[in-house]
């Protein structure tokens, strides 16, 4: 198992490029070192949508999207199974875990996803729709999980969160997870390898002037409520040989454009092959949607798959403005990226 990239390793990688970064509390706003992360190129990447907001069992397969016709559950949440093939060897991880034990467990059984082949677990952020049933999932799969498997989380993954006067998210407690003796919780700040060919982003730099966190959101820090900035939100970055980056987001609260630009900066890879996941544009104003779509379009990805919290309106604009790249995601869809795919 690859270990977390610590600060010494990250600074050492930075020195190779002839640059440096500041301390971690400033990393969120200061420029990322270009090309500091060298993600091994994967010969093949397979991403399966386990949980998403939309299900359509009769939708046909299309391009790289292979549909499942099984009885699958949709819910407001997200979970993906990711498999990389690097140097001929397969490596598997789970990214996010949906909202409920029922939806997640039923779908992974239908999709025949093997828990015993998992090498890592990764969480995008601590909202209930991304790991609401996580403790129950661990308990129900305790015989299948490799003991001591790493659960990678960003900062404040276990914090209570809300909006206005309302508590909106009470994540699982760290002690409840660790007491099961099944997983090792690894909290990260910097770009971190999780399996060969896959990195978590670490703190995502905000570079656009229009992607802002919803006003009124707060996070519990000690006895106080502080304005939410999603400092610990993670996305997965992969690098397909000869094709470019594949970026997978959970919700993209810090902005999908910020996220993809961050992936380009830390890897030094400009070509973007695919962008998928939640883009957090539900209920967004038309101007924000238009600017986001325009900037994503300018990146010229080969594929774009909006999911989860992207919202109907934004998904429709992506479909209209990027018809050749757009693929409508449905629960159970298995995306196969390889040198042979167009």
Q: What average pLDDT does the segment 216-244 reach?
A: 96
Residue tagged 């990322």 (tokens): 32
Q: Give a yes or no: residue 46 inside a domain.
A: yes
Q: Bigger pLDDT: 148 or 340?
A: 148
User: In this predicted structure, what is the pLDDT of residue 15?
Assistant: 37
pTM of the entire predicted model: 0.90
Give the number of domains in the chain. 1
Strand partners, 77: none
Q: Give a yes or no: residue 17 inside a domain.
A: no
Q: Give a yes or no: residue 143 inside a domain.
A: yes
pLDDT one-digit tens code per residue, 106-115: 999 999 999 9
User: In this predicted structure, what is the pLDDT of residue 31?
Assistant: 54
User: In this predicted structure, what is the pLDDT of residue 1?
Assistant: 40
Q: What is the CA radius of gyration of the chain?
A: 19
pLDDT one-digit tens code per residue, 223-234: 999 999 999 999
Q: Give a yes or no: residue 196 inside a domain.
A: yes
Structural domain harbouring 283 = 7-11+37-338
Q: Give a yes or no: residue 278 inside a domain.
A: yes
CA-angle at 23, arms to 175 and 156, nearest 5°: 25
User: In this predicted structure, what is the pLDDT of residue 21?
Assistant: 31
Q: Give a yes or no: residue 95 inside a domain.
A: yes
Q: What is the band of 239 on the pLDDT scale with cuts at 50, 70, 90?
A: very high
**Three-state DSSP class for residue 93:** strand
Q: Give a yes or no: residue 1 inside a domain.
A: no
Q: Distance from CA of residue 154 to its chain's centroid? A: 11
Q: What average pLDDT does the segment 208-235 reach?
A: 95
Q: Which residues of 106-139 are buried (b: 16+ CB within 10 A; e: fewer)?
A: bbbebbebebeebbbbbbbbbbbbbbbbbbbbbe
Look up the CATH number of the domain holding residue 247: 3.60.15.10
Q: Give a yes or no: residue 31 inside a domain.
A: no
Instruction: Report DSSP state, residue 84.
Output: E
């Amino acid at each position: 198992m690859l270990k977390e990239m610590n600060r010494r390793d990250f600074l050492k990688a930075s020195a190779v490029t002839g640059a440096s970064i500041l301390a971690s509390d400033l990393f969120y706003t200061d420029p990322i070192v270009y090309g500091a992360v060298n993600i091994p190129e994967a010969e093949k990447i397979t991403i399966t949508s386990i949980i998403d907001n939309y299900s359509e069992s009769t939708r046909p397969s299309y391009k790289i999207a292979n549909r499942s016709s099984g009885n699958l559950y949709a819910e407001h949440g997200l979970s993906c199974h990711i498999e990389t093939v690097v140097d001929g060897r397969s490596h598997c991880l789970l990214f996010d875990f949906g909202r409920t034990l029922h939806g997640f467990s039923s779908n992974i059984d239908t999709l025949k996803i093997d828990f015993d082949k998992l090498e890592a677990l990764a969480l995008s952020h601590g909202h209930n729709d991304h790991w609401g049933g996580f403790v129950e999932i661990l308990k129900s799969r305790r015989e299948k999980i490799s003991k001591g498997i790493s659960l990678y989380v960003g900062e404040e993954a276990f914090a209570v969160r809300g909006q206005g006067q309302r508590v909106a998210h009470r994540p699982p407690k760290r002690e409840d997870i660790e007491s099961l003796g099944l997983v090792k919780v690894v909290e990260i700040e910097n770009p971190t390898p999780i399996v060969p060919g896959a990195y978590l982003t670490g703190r995502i730099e905000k570079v656009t002037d229009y992607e802002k966190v919803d006003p009124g959101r707060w996070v519990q820090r000690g006895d106080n409520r502080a304005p939410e900035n999603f400092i610990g939100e993670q996305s997965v970055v992969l690098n397909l040989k000869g094709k470019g980056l594949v970026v997978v987001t959970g919700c993209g609260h810090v902005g999908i454009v910020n996220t993809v630009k961050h992936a380009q900066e830390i890897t030094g890879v400009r070509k973007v092959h695919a962008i998928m996941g939640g883009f957090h544009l539900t209920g967004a104003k038309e101007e924000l949607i238009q600017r986001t779509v325009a900037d994503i379009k300018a990146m010229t990805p080969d594929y774009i798959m909006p999911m989860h919290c992207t919202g109907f309106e934004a998904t429709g604009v992506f479909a209209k403005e990027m018809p050749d790249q757009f693929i409508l995601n449905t629960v159970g869809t298995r995306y196969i990226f390889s040198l042979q795919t167009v």
